[in-house]
Structure 1
Amino acid sequence: MAELITVDDPDDPRLGDYTGLTDVELRRRREPAEGLFIAEGEKVIRRALNAGYTMRSMLLSAKWTEVMRDVIDEATAPVYAVTPELAERVTGYHVHRGALASMQRRPLSDVRTLLAPAEGGVRRVAVFEDIVDHANLGAAFRNAAALGVDAVLLTPRCADPLYRRAVKVSMGSVFHVPWTRLTSWPQDLGLLREAGFTTAALCLSDRSITLDELVARRHEKLALVFGTEGDGLTPQALAEADAHVRIPMDAGVDSLNVAAASAVAFYATRTDPA
Protein backbone atom coordinates (compact mmCIF):
# COMPACT_ATOMS: atom_id res chain seq x y z
CA MET A 1 0.00 0.00 0.00
CA ALA A 2 1.34 3.41 -0.96
CA GLU A 3 1.59 6.12 1.64
CA LEU A 4 -0.52 9.18 0.81
CA ILE A 5 1.94 12.09 0.97
CA THR A 6 0.58 15.62 1.32
CA VAL A 7 2.64 18.19 -0.58
CA ASP A 8 2.13 21.95 -0.24
CA ASP A 9 5.19 23.32 -2.04
CA PRO A 10 4.92 23.64 -5.85
CA ASP A 11 8.72 23.54 -6.06
CA ASP A 12 8.98 20.23 -4.23
CA PRO A 13 11.36 18.14 -6.37
CA ARG A 14 9.21 15.07 -5.85
CA LEU A 15 6.67 16.66 -8.20
CA GLY A 16 9.25 17.12 -10.93
CA ASP A 17 7.60 14.68 -13.35
CA TYR A 18 4.53 16.93 -13.49
CA THR A 19 6.10 20.34 -14.08
CA GLY A 20 5.32 22.37 -17.19
CA LEU A 21 2.86 19.95 -18.77
CA THR A 22 1.61 22.67 -21.13
CA ASP A 23 5.09 23.28 -22.57
CA VAL A 24 4.79 20.96 -25.56
CA GLU A 25 8.34 21.35 -26.83
CA LEU A 26 9.83 20.76 -23.39
CA ARG A 27 7.70 17.69 -22.73
CA ARG A 28 8.34 16.26 -26.21
CA ARG A 29 12.06 16.32 -25.51
CA ARG A 30 11.98 15.47 -21.84
CA GLU A 31 9.54 12.57 -21.58
CA PRO A 32 11.18 10.12 -24.01
CA ALA A 33 14.63 11.08 -22.72
CA GLU A 34 13.62 10.36 -19.12
CA GLY A 35 11.56 7.30 -20.00
CA LEU A 36 8.24 8.56 -18.69
CA PHE A 37 4.80 9.60 -19.86
CA ILE A 38 1.81 11.16 -18.12
CA ALA A 39 -1.56 9.44 -17.80
CA GLU A 40 -4.40 11.85 -17.03
CA GLY A 41 -7.69 10.91 -15.41
CA GLU A 42 -9.05 7.86 -13.64
CA LYS A 43 -9.89 5.78 -16.72
CA VAL A 44 -6.60 6.41 -18.50
CA ILE A 45 -4.55 5.68 -15.38
CA ARG A 46 -6.41 2.42 -14.83
CA ARG A 47 -5.96 1.41 -18.47
CA ALA A 48 -2.23 2.10 -18.32
CA LEU A 49 -1.90 -0.04 -15.21
CA ASN A 50 -4.05 -2.80 -16.69
CA ALA A 51 -1.81 -2.79 -19.76
CA GLY A 52 1.17 -3.52 -17.53
CA TYR A 53 2.84 -0.11 -17.36
CA THR A 54 4.70 0.67 -14.13
CA MET A 55 3.66 3.74 -12.18
CA ARG A 56 6.45 6.07 -11.01
CA SER A 57 4.15 8.26 -8.91
CA MET A 58 0.63 9.68 -8.79
CA LEU A 59 -0.58 13.21 -8.08
CA LEU A 60 -4.19 13.87 -7.10
CA SER A 61 -6.45 16.28 -5.29
CA ALA A 62 -8.07 15.25 -2.03
CA LYS A 63 -11.56 14.68 -3.45
CA TRP A 64 -10.17 12.03 -5.81
CA THR A 65 -8.62 9.98 -3.03
CA GLU A 66 -11.65 7.74 -2.56
CA VAL A 67 -12.24 7.34 -6.30
CA MET A 68 -8.66 6.10 -6.68
CA ARG A 69 -8.56 4.25 -3.35
CA ASP A 70 -8.02 0.79 -4.84
CA VAL A 71 -5.21 2.08 -7.05
CA ILE A 72 -3.59 3.81 -4.07
CA ASP A 73 -3.90 0.66 -1.95
CA GLU A 74 -2.17 -1.44 -4.61
CA ALA A 75 0.48 1.11 -5.56
CA THR A 76 4.13 0.70 -4.64
CA ALA A 77 4.98 4.15 -6.03
CA PRO A 78 4.48 7.36 -4.00
CA VAL A 79 1.09 9.08 -4.18
CA TYR A 80 1.08 12.85 -3.68
CA ALA A 81 -2.03 14.67 -2.44
CA VAL A 82 -2.21 18.34 -3.41
CA THR A 83 -4.78 21.11 -3.60
CA PRO A 84 -6.27 21.90 -7.03
CA GLU A 85 -4.52 25.27 -6.88
CA LEU A 86 -1.12 23.71 -6.29
CA ALA A 87 -1.71 21.15 -9.05
CA GLU A 88 -2.39 24.01 -11.44
CA ARG A 89 0.77 25.84 -10.39
CA VAL A 90 2.88 22.73 -10.93
CA THR A 91 1.37 21.54 -14.21
CA GLY A 92 0.46 24.88 -15.78
CA TYR A 93 -3.23 24.11 -16.26
CA HIS A 94 -6.38 23.26 -14.32
CA VAL A 95 -6.39 19.48 -13.85
CA HIS A 96 -10.08 18.81 -14.53
CA ARG A 97 -9.85 15.05 -14.06
CA GLY A 98 -8.26 15.39 -10.64
CA ALA A 99 -5.55 12.75 -10.97
CA LEU A 100 -2.30 12.37 -12.91
CA ALA A 101 0.16 9.50 -12.94
CA SER A 102 3.73 9.43 -14.13
CA MET A 103 4.26 6.09 -15.88
CA GLN A 104 7.42 4.32 -16.98
CA ARG A 105 7.85 3.85 -20.73
CA ARG A 106 8.72 0.44 -22.14
CA PRO A 107 11.37 -0.20 -24.81
CA LEU A 108 9.94 -0.24 -28.32
CA SER A 109 10.07 -3.43 -30.39
CA ASP A 110 11.95 -3.44 -33.65
CA VAL A 111 9.76 -3.60 -36.75
CA ARG A 112 10.48 -7.22 -37.66
CA THR A 113 9.62 -8.39 -34.16
CA LEU A 114 6.38 -6.43 -34.16
CA LEU A 115 5.33 -7.84 -37.54
CA ALA A 116 6.16 -11.42 -36.63
CA PRO A 117 5.20 -12.08 -33.00
CA ALA A 118 5.67 -15.58 -31.67
CA GLU A 119 1.93 -16.24 -31.75
CA GLY A 120 1.49 -14.83 -35.28
CA GLY A 121 -1.71 -13.16 -36.36
CA VAL A 122 -0.48 -9.75 -37.56
CA ARG A 123 -2.47 -9.26 -40.76
CA ARG A 124 -3.44 -5.59 -40.82
CA VAL A 125 -1.10 -2.73 -40.02
CA ALA A 126 -1.45 1.06 -40.06
CA VAL A 127 1.48 3.28 -41.01
CA PHE A 128 1.38 7.01 -40.21
CA GLU A 129 3.76 9.40 -41.94
CA ASP A 130 4.72 12.61 -40.12
CA ILE A 131 1.46 13.08 -38.17
CA VAL A 132 2.45 15.84 -35.75
CA ASP A 133 -0.96 16.67 -34.26
CA HIS A 134 -1.30 14.75 -31.00
CA ALA A 135 -5.11 14.79 -31.06
CA ASN A 136 -5.25 13.32 -34.57
CA LEU A 137 -2.74 10.64 -33.65
CA GLY A 138 -4.59 9.78 -30.46
CA ALA A 139 -7.88 9.50 -32.36
CA ALA A 140 -6.23 7.30 -34.99
CA PHE A 141 -4.96 4.96 -32.26
CA ARG A 142 -8.45 4.77 -30.80
CA ASN A 143 -9.78 3.87 -34.24
CA ALA A 144 -7.09 1.21 -34.63
CA ALA A 145 -7.99 -0.39 -31.31
CA ALA A 146 -11.74 -0.25 -31.93
CA LEU A 147 -11.54 -1.65 -35.45
CA GLY A 148 -9.07 -4.45 -34.93
CA VAL A 149 -5.82 -3.15 -36.42
CA ASP A 150 -3.01 -5.45 -35.31
CA ALA A 151 -0.13 -2.95 -35.13
CA VAL A 152 0.79 0.68 -35.82
CA LEU A 153 4.06 1.93 -37.32
CA LEU A 154 5.15 5.56 -37.03
CA THR A 155 7.70 7.43 -39.11
CA PRO A 156 10.58 9.15 -37.28
CA ARG A 157 8.90 12.58 -37.44
CA CYS A 158 5.51 11.45 -36.11
CA ALA A 159 4.21 12.83 -32.83
CA ASP A 160 4.66 10.85 -29.64
CA PRO A 161 1.58 8.66 -29.04
CA LEU A 162 2.39 8.62 -25.32
CA TYR A 163 2.29 12.41 -25.07
CA ARG A 164 -0.44 13.40 -22.59
CA ARG A 165 -2.91 14.79 -25.14
CA ALA A 166 -2.52 11.84 -27.50
CA VAL A 167 -3.10 9.40 -24.64
CA LYS A 168 -6.10 11.41 -23.44
CA VAL A 169 -7.77 11.55 -26.87
CA SER A 170 -7.12 7.85 -27.42
CA MET A 171 -8.78 7.16 -24.04
CA GLY A 172 -5.86 4.84 -23.30
CA SER A 173 -6.26 2.85 -26.52
CA VAL A 174 -2.60 3.55 -27.29
CA PHE A 175 -1.74 1.12 -24.48
CA HIS A 176 -3.49 -1.77 -26.21
CA VAL A 177 -2.30 -1.49 -29.83
CA PRO A 178 1.26 -2.72 -30.46
CA TRP A 179 3.31 0.06 -32.06
CA THR A 180 6.84 1.11 -32.84
CA ARG A 181 8.82 3.66 -34.83
CA LEU A 182 10.39 3.12 -38.21
CA THR A 183 14.00 4.25 -38.42
CA SER A 184 14.45 4.74 -42.16
CA TRP A 185 11.59 6.26 -44.12
CA PRO A 186 10.23 5.40 -46.63
CA GLN A 187 12.78 2.62 -47.13
CA ASP A 188 11.32 0.70 -44.19
CA LEU A 189 8.21 0.01 -46.26
CA GLY A 190 10.45 -2.68 -47.70
CA LEU A 191 10.34 -4.45 -44.33
CA LEU A 192 6.58 -4.73 -44.71
CA ARG A 193 6.99 -6.14 -48.19
CA GLU A 194 9.52 -8.68 -46.89
CA ALA A 195 6.96 -9.75 -44.29
CA GLY A 196 4.37 -10.37 -47.00
CA PHE A 197 2.34 -7.17 -46.68
CA THR A 198 0.79 -5.23 -49.52
CA THR A 199 1.30 -1.53 -48.81
CA ALA A 200 -1.69 0.65 -49.74
CA ALA A 201 -1.21 4.43 -49.66
CA LEU A 202 -4.35 6.50 -49.01
CA CYS A 203 -4.11 9.32 -51.53
CA LEU A 204 -5.46 10.96 -54.66
CA SER A 205 -3.43 10.02 -57.72
CA ASP A 206 -3.89 9.00 -61.33
CA ARG A 207 -3.32 5.36 -60.42
CA SER A 208 -5.50 5.24 -57.31
CA ILE A 209 -8.19 2.60 -56.97
CA THR A 210 -11.21 2.94 -54.70
CA LEU A 211 -11.23 1.55 -51.19
CA ASP A 212 -13.93 -0.92 -52.27
CA GLU A 213 -11.66 -2.18 -55.04
CA LEU A 214 -8.85 -2.69 -52.55
CA VAL A 215 -11.15 -4.66 -50.25
CA ALA A 216 -12.30 -6.84 -53.16
CA ARG A 217 -8.72 -7.96 -53.78
CA ARG A 218 -8.68 -9.65 -50.36
CA HIS A 219 -5.02 -9.17 -49.54
CA GLU A 220 -3.91 -11.62 -46.86
CA LYS A 221 -1.65 -9.02 -45.25
CA LEU A 222 -2.38 -5.33 -45.68
CA ALA A 223 -0.58 -2.20 -44.53
CA LEU A 224 -2.59 1.03 -44.83
CA VAL A 225 -0.37 4.10 -45.15
CA PHE A 226 -1.64 7.56 -44.15
CA GLY A 227 -0.13 11.02 -44.56
CA THR A 228 -0.85 14.46 -43.19
CA GLU A 229 -4.12 16.26 -43.86
CA GLY A 230 -2.49 19.23 -45.56
CA ASP A 231 0.10 17.71 -47.86
CA GLY A 232 -0.77 14.03 -47.77
CA LEU A 233 1.92 11.42 -48.27
CA THR A 234 5.30 12.47 -49.58
CA PRO A 235 6.23 11.59 -53.18
CA GLN A 236 8.89 9.24 -51.83
CA ALA A 237 6.34 7.29 -49.79
CA LEU A 238 3.92 7.15 -52.71
CA ALA A 239 6.66 5.78 -54.95
CA GLU A 240 7.40 2.98 -52.47
CA ALA A 241 3.76 1.92 -51.99
CA ASP A 242 2.35 -1.09 -53.83
CA ALA A 243 -1.06 0.50 -54.38
CA HIS A 244 -2.70 3.92 -54.24
CA VAL A 245 -6.18 3.99 -52.72
CA ARG A 246 -8.81 6.71 -52.49
CA ILE A 247 -11.98 7.04 -50.44
CA PRO A 248 -14.77 8.15 -52.83
CA MET A 249 -16.42 11.36 -51.60
CA ASP A 250 -19.24 13.69 -52.58
CA ALA A 251 -19.97 17.44 -52.55
CA GLY A 252 -16.59 18.39 -53.93
CA VAL A 253 -14.76 17.15 -50.84
CA ASP A 254 -11.51 15.43 -51.79
CA SER A 255 -9.97 14.57 -48.42
CA LEU A 256 -10.65 13.81 -44.76
CA ASN A 257 -8.38 14.38 -41.82
CA VAL A 258 -6.26 11.42 -40.85
CA ALA A 259 -8.46 10.42 -37.92
CA ALA A 260 -11.59 10.26 -40.08
CA ALA A 261 -9.83 8.64 -43.05
CA SER A 262 -8.27 5.97 -40.86
CA ALA A 263 -11.64 5.11 -39.30
CA VAL A 264 -13.21 4.64 -42.73
CA ALA A 265 -10.29 2.54 -44.02
CA PHE A 266 -10.01 0.41 -40.89
CA TYR A 267 -13.74 -0.35 -40.92
CA ALA A 268 -13.80 -1.20 -44.63
CA THR A 269 -10.82 -3.56 -44.43
CA ARG A 270 -11.80 -5.53 -41.34
CA THR A 271 -11.14 -9.21 -41.92
CA ASP A 272 -13.54 -10.43 -39.23
CA PRO A 273 -16.53 -8.06 -39.14
CA ALA A 274 -18.50 -8.31 -35.92
Structure 2
Amino acid sequence: MDWDKLRIFHAVADAGSLTHAGETLHLSQSAVSRQIRALEESLNATLFHRHARGLILTEQGELLFDATSAMVRRLDTAEARIRDSKEEVFGELRVTATTGFGSLWLAPRLPTLYSSYPDLKIDLMLEERVLDLPMREADVAIRMKEPSQADLIRRRLMGVRMRLYASPKYLESAGTPKRMSDISMHRLICQNPTSHQVSAGVSLISQLMTHDVRSLLTVNNYFGVLQGVLSNLGIGVLPDYLLEDFPEMVRVLPDIESNEVPVFLAYPEELRNSKRIAAFRDFVTEEIIAYRKRRTDEDAG
Protein backbone atom coordinates (compact mmCIF):
# COMPACT_ATOMS: atom_id res chain seq x y z
CA MET A 1 0.00 0.00 0.00
CA ASP A 2 1.08 3.56 -0.72
CA TRP A 3 2.35 5.18 2.48
CA ASP A 4 1.16 8.63 1.40
CA LYS A 5 -2.39 7.30 1.09
CA LEU A 6 -2.10 5.55 4.46
CA ARG A 7 -0.82 8.75 6.05
CA ILE A 8 -3.76 10.69 4.68
CA PHE A 9 -6.19 7.94 5.74
CA HIS A 10 -4.79 8.03 9.28
CA ALA A 11 -5.21 11.80 9.49
CA VAL A 12 -8.82 11.58 8.26
CA ALA A 13 -9.66 8.76 10.67
CA ASP A 14 -8.07 10.65 13.54
CA ALA A 15 -9.86 13.92 12.72
CA GLY A 16 -13.16 12.38 11.60
CA SER A 17 -13.34 14.97 8.87
CA LEU A 18 -11.86 15.54 5.41
CA THR A 19 -11.68 19.27 6.04
CA HIS A 20 -9.86 19.04 9.36
CA ALA A 21 -7.47 16.41 8.02
CA GLY A 22 -6.74 18.62 5.02
CA GLU A 23 -5.90 21.53 7.32
CA THR A 24 -3.49 19.32 9.27
CA LEU A 25 -1.88 17.96 6.11
CA HIS A 26 -1.96 21.30 4.24
CA LEU A 27 -4.01 19.71 1.45
CA SER A 28 -7.32 20.69 -0.10
CA GLN A 29 -10.43 18.75 0.85
CA SER A 30 -10.78 17.50 -2.72
CA ALA A 31 -7.18 16.20 -2.74
CA VAL A 32 -7.76 14.34 0.54
CA SER A 33 -11.02 12.90 -0.79
CA ARG A 34 -9.32 11.65 -3.99
CA GLN A 35 -6.62 9.88 -2.00
CA ILE A 36 -9.19 8.17 0.25
CA ARG A 37 -11.21 7.00 -2.76
CA ALA A 38 -8.06 5.69 -4.42
CA LEU A 39 -7.11 3.78 -1.25
CA GLU A 40 -10.59 2.27 -0.98
CA GLU A 41 -10.44 1.20 -4.62
CA SER A 42 -7.01 -0.41 -4.19
CA LEU A 43 -8.29 -2.35 -1.16
CA ASN A 44 -11.71 -3.01 -2.69
CA ALA A 45 -13.22 -1.98 0.64
CA THR A 46 -15.22 0.90 2.09
CA LEU A 47 -13.25 2.52 4.90
CA PHE A 48 -15.68 5.22 6.02
CA HIS A 49 -19.41 5.64 6.48
CA ARG A 50 -20.29 9.12 5.21
CA HIS A 51 -22.69 11.04 7.45
CA ALA A 52 -23.73 14.67 7.66
CA ARG A 53 -22.04 14.82 11.08
CA GLY A 54 -18.75 13.53 9.74
CA LEU A 55 -16.96 10.31 8.88
CA ILE A 56 -17.23 7.07 10.86
CA LEU A 57 -14.88 4.17 10.33
CA THR A 58 -16.27 0.92 8.97
CA GLU A 59 -15.10 -2.39 10.38
CA GLN A 60 -12.44 -2.55 7.66
CA GLY A 61 -11.51 1.05 8.41
CA GLU A 62 -11.07 0.23 12.11
CA LEU A 63 -8.66 -2.58 11.21
CA LEU A 64 -6.61 -0.30 9.01
CA PHE A 65 -6.63 2.51 11.59
CA ASP A 66 -5.27 0.13 14.23
CA ALA A 67 -2.44 -0.75 11.85
CA THR A 68 -1.61 2.86 10.93
CA SER A 69 -1.76 3.88 14.60
CA ALA A 70 0.85 1.25 15.43
CA MET A 71 2.98 2.51 12.54
CA VAL A 72 2.72 6.11 13.73
CA ARG A 73 3.75 5.11 17.26
CA ARG A 74 6.79 3.26 15.93
CA LEU A 75 7.73 6.23 13.76
CA ASP A 76 7.37 8.54 16.78
CA THR A 77 9.65 6.24 18.75
CA ALA A 78 12.23 6.21 15.95
CA GLU A 79 12.09 9.99 15.66
CA ALA A 80 12.51 10.36 19.42
CA ARG A 81 15.51 8.05 19.48
CA ILE A 82 17.11 9.84 16.52
CA ARG A 83 16.61 13.21 18.19
CA ASP A 84 17.92 11.87 21.48
CA SER A 85 21.13 10.75 19.80
CA LYS A 86 22.13 14.41 19.62
CA GLU A 87 23.73 16.34 22.44
CA GLU A 88 21.03 18.99 22.86
CA VAL A 89 17.90 18.49 24.97
CA PHE A 90 15.00 19.71 22.85
CA GLY A 91 11.78 18.54 21.24
CA GLU A 92 8.56 17.26 22.78
CA LEU A 93 8.39 15.33 26.03
CA ARG A 94 5.01 13.82 26.89
CA VAL A 95 4.59 13.57 30.65
CA THR A 96 1.61 11.97 32.36
CA ALA A 97 0.75 12.38 36.03
CA THR A 98 -2.29 12.28 38.26
CA THR A 99 -4.34 15.48 38.25
CA GLY A 100 -3.51 16.35 41.85
CA PHE A 101 0.22 15.74 41.83
CA GLY A 102 0.68 17.09 38.32
CA SER A 103 -1.15 20.37 38.91
CA LEU A 104 -0.21 21.01 42.55
CA TRP A 105 3.38 19.73 42.81
CA LEU A 106 4.89 19.23 39.35
CA ALA A 107 3.55 22.18 37.31
CA PRO A 108 4.66 24.90 39.79
CA ARG A 109 8.23 23.53 39.61
CA LEU A 110 8.52 23.35 35.82
CA PRO A 111 10.08 26.84 35.50
CA THR A 112 13.28 25.31 36.90
CA LEU A 113 13.31 22.72 34.10
CA TYR A 114 12.54 25.29 31.39
CA SER A 115 15.27 27.61 32.66
CA SER A 116 17.81 24.86 32.01
CA TYR A 117 16.25 23.60 28.74
CA PRO A 118 14.32 26.46 27.11
CA ASP A 119 13.83 24.53 23.85
CA LEU A 120 12.05 21.63 25.55
CA LYS A 121 8.35 21.24 24.69
CA ILE A 122 6.42 19.50 27.44
CA ASP A 123 2.99 18.01 26.85
CA LEU A 124 1.66 17.52 30.39
CA MET A 125 -1.22 15.03 30.46
CA LEU A 126 -3.03 15.10 33.80
CA GLU A 127 -5.47 12.24 34.26
CA GLU A 128 -6.16 9.31 36.53
CA ARG A 129 -6.12 6.79 33.68
CA VAL A 130 -2.84 4.86 33.51
CA LEU A 131 -1.43 5.52 30.05
CA ASP A 132 0.38 2.75 28.19
CA LEU A 133 4.04 3.79 28.15
CA PRO A 134 5.35 0.85 26.06
CA MET A 135 2.74 1.79 23.42
CA ARG A 136 4.02 5.39 23.59
CA GLU A 137 0.84 7.01 24.87
CA ALA A 138 3.33 9.04 26.93
CA ASP A 139 7.10 9.18 27.33
CA VAL A 140 7.34 9.32 31.11
CA ALA A 141 4.87 8.91 33.96
CA ILE A 142 4.66 9.94 37.60
CA ARG A 143 2.23 7.67 39.44
CA MET A 144 1.00 7.10 42.98
CA LYS A 145 1.80 3.41 42.93
CA GLU A 146 4.44 1.19 41.39
CA PRO A 147 3.70 0.68 37.66
CA SER A 148 2.84 -2.89 36.74
CA GLN A 149 3.48 -2.63 33.00
CA ALA A 150 6.39 -4.66 31.63
CA ASP A 151 9.53 -3.21 30.02
CA LEU A 152 9.55 -0.09 32.18
CA ILE A 153 12.36 1.54 34.09
CA ARG A 154 10.92 2.74 37.40
CA ARG A 155 12.27 4.79 40.27
CA ARG A 156 10.63 5.44 43.64
CA LEU A 157 10.66 9.19 44.24
CA MET A 158 9.03 9.79 47.60
CA GLY A 159 6.23 8.81 49.95
CA VAL A 160 3.06 10.84 50.47
CA ARG A 161 0.52 10.71 53.29
CA MET A 162 -3.01 12.11 53.33
CA ARG A 163 -3.58 14.43 56.28
CA LEU A 164 -6.13 16.92 57.59
CA TYR A 165 -5.67 20.65 56.97
CA ALA A 166 -7.66 23.83 57.53
CA SER A 167 -7.15 27.56 57.22
CA PRO A 168 -6.48 29.70 60.33
CA LYS A 169 -9.62 31.71 59.58
CA TYR A 170 -11.83 28.61 59.51
CA LEU A 171 -10.37 27.29 62.78
CA GLU A 172 -10.80 30.70 64.39
CA SER A 173 -14.51 30.69 63.59
CA ALA A 174 -15.31 26.97 63.98
CA GLY A 175 -12.77 25.90 66.59
CA THR A 176 -9.99 23.32 66.40
CA PRO A 177 -10.96 19.65 66.80
CA LYS A 178 -9.08 17.90 69.60
CA ARG A 179 -10.03 14.31 68.79
CA MET A 180 -11.28 12.45 65.73
CA SER A 181 -14.88 12.37 66.95
CA ASP A 182 -14.89 16.20 66.90
CA ILE A 183 -14.94 15.99 63.08
CA SER A 184 -18.71 15.51 63.37
CA MET A 185 -18.98 19.19 64.32
CA HIS A 186 -17.09 20.44 61.27
CA ARG A 187 -17.44 20.60 57.49
CA LEU A 188 -15.26 17.95 55.86
CA ILE A 189 -13.83 18.63 52.39
CA CYS A 190 -12.57 15.58 50.54
CA GLN A 191 -12.73 13.59 47.36
CA ASN A 192 -15.86 11.53 46.89
CA PRO A 193 -15.02 8.01 48.12
CA THR A 194 -16.27 6.64 44.79
CA SER A 195 -13.99 8.88 42.69
CA HIS A 196 -10.63 7.67 41.39
CA GLN A 197 -7.97 8.29 44.03
CA VAL A 198 -5.29 6.53 46.05
CA SER A 199 -6.67 3.74 48.22
CA ALA A 200 -5.00 5.21 51.31
CA GLY A 201 -7.07 8.38 50.83
CA VAL A 202 -10.28 6.38 50.47
CA SER A 203 -9.50 4.50 53.69
CA LEU A 204 -8.93 7.71 55.64
CA ILE A 205 -12.09 9.34 54.27
CA SER A 206 -14.14 6.24 55.11
CA GLN A 207 -12.77 6.31 58.64
CA LEU A 208 -13.70 9.98 59.03
CA MET A 209 -17.20 9.38 57.66
CA THR A 210 -17.99 6.99 60.51
CA HIS A 211 -18.16 10.00 62.84
CA ASP A 212 -21.43 11.36 61.39
CA VAL A 213 -19.90 14.44 59.74
CA ARG A 214 -22.23 17.44 60.12
CA SER A 215 -21.49 19.04 56.74
CA LEU A 216 -19.69 17.73 53.68
CA LEU A 217 -18.17 19.01 50.45
CA THR A 218 -16.87 16.42 48.01
CA VAL A 219 -14.78 17.24 44.94
CA ASN A 220 -13.42 14.93 42.26
CA ASN A 221 -9.76 16.06 42.59
CA TYR A 222 -7.35 17.45 45.18
CA PHE A 223 -7.15 20.85 43.50
CA GLY A 224 -10.82 21.43 44.31
CA VAL A 225 -10.32 20.22 47.89
CA LEU A 226 -7.40 22.64 48.28
CA GLN A 227 -9.45 25.56 47.00
CA GLY A 228 -12.17 24.71 49.49
CA VAL A 229 -9.68 24.75 52.36
CA LEU A 230 -8.09 28.02 51.22
CA SER A 231 -11.60 29.50 50.96
CA ASN A 232 -12.19 28.77 54.66
CA LEU A 233 -14.93 26.23 53.99
CA GLY A 234 -13.79 23.46 56.32
CA ILE A 235 -11.22 20.77 57.09
CA GLY A 236 -9.73 19.11 54.01
CA VAL A 237 -8.15 15.74 53.34
CA LEU A 238 -5.02 16.59 51.35
CA PRO A 239 -1.57 15.18 50.52
CA ASP A 240 1.17 16.36 52.87
CA TYR A 241 3.40 17.76 50.09
CA LEU A 242 1.03 20.71 49.71
CA LEU A 243 2.06 22.24 53.02
CA GLU A 244 5.37 23.42 51.54
CA ASP A 245 3.66 25.56 48.89
CA PHE A 246 0.74 26.57 51.12
CA PRO A 247 2.36 27.09 54.55
CA GLU A 248 -0.62 29.11 55.75
CA MET A 249 -2.62 25.90 56.11
CA VAL A 250 -2.77 24.39 59.58
CA ARG A 251 -2.51 20.66 60.16
CA VAL A 252 -5.47 19.41 62.16
CA LEU A 253 -5.41 16.31 64.38
CA PRO A 254 -1.69 15.64 63.74
CA ASP A 255 -1.99 12.03 64.93
CA ILE A 256 -4.40 11.24 62.09
CA GLU A 257 -2.95 10.36 58.68
CA SER A 258 -3.23 7.75 55.95
CA ASN A 259 -0.82 4.97 55.14
CA GLU A 260 2.11 6.03 52.98
CA VAL A 261 1.47 6.37 49.24
CA PRO A 262 4.58 5.70 47.11
CA VAL A 263 5.30 8.02 44.19
CA PHE A 264 7.08 6.45 41.20
CA LEU A 265 8.65 7.80 38.02
CA ALA A 266 8.59 5.38 35.07
CA TYR A 267 9.54 5.37 31.39
CA PRO A 268 9.97 2.73 28.66
CA GLU A 269 13.15 0.68 28.53
CA GLU A 270 13.67 1.77 24.91
CA LEU A 271 14.05 5.38 26.09
CA ARG A 272 16.81 4.51 28.55
CA ASN A 273 19.31 6.68 26.65
CA SER A 274 16.93 9.54 25.92
CA LYS A 275 18.49 12.86 26.85
CA ARG A 276 15.05 14.43 27.28
CA ILE A 277 14.05 11.67 29.69
CA ALA A 278 17.35 12.03 31.55
CA ALA A 279 16.87 15.79 31.85
CA PHE A 280 13.35 15.38 33.22
CA ARG A 281 14.34 12.51 35.54
CA ASP A 282 17.25 14.50 36.98
CA PHE A 283 15.09 17.60 37.40
CA VAL A 284 12.40 15.68 39.34
CA THR A 285 15.02 13.87 41.43
CA GLU A 286 16.74 17.13 42.38
CA GLU A 287 13.41 18.72 43.31
CA ILE A 288 12.53 15.71 45.47
CA ILE A 289 15.93 15.81 47.22
CA ALA A 290 15.52 19.53 47.94
CA TYR A 291 11.96 18.91 49.16
CA ARG A 292 13.08 16.13 51.51
CA LYS A 293 15.89 18.29 52.90
CA ARG A 294 13.49 21.16 53.63
CA ARG A 295 11.11 18.76 55.33
CA THR A 296 13.92 17.31 57.45
CA ASP A 297 15.11 20.79 58.42
CA GLU A 298 11.57 21.80 59.37
CA ASP A 299 11.05 18.68 61.47
CA ALA A 300 14.41 19.26 63.20
CA GLY A 301 13.50 22.86 63.86
Structure number, greater radius of gyration: 2
The structure that is helix-richer by fraction is 2
Q: What TM-score results when the alignment is normalised by the length of structure 1? A: 0.27
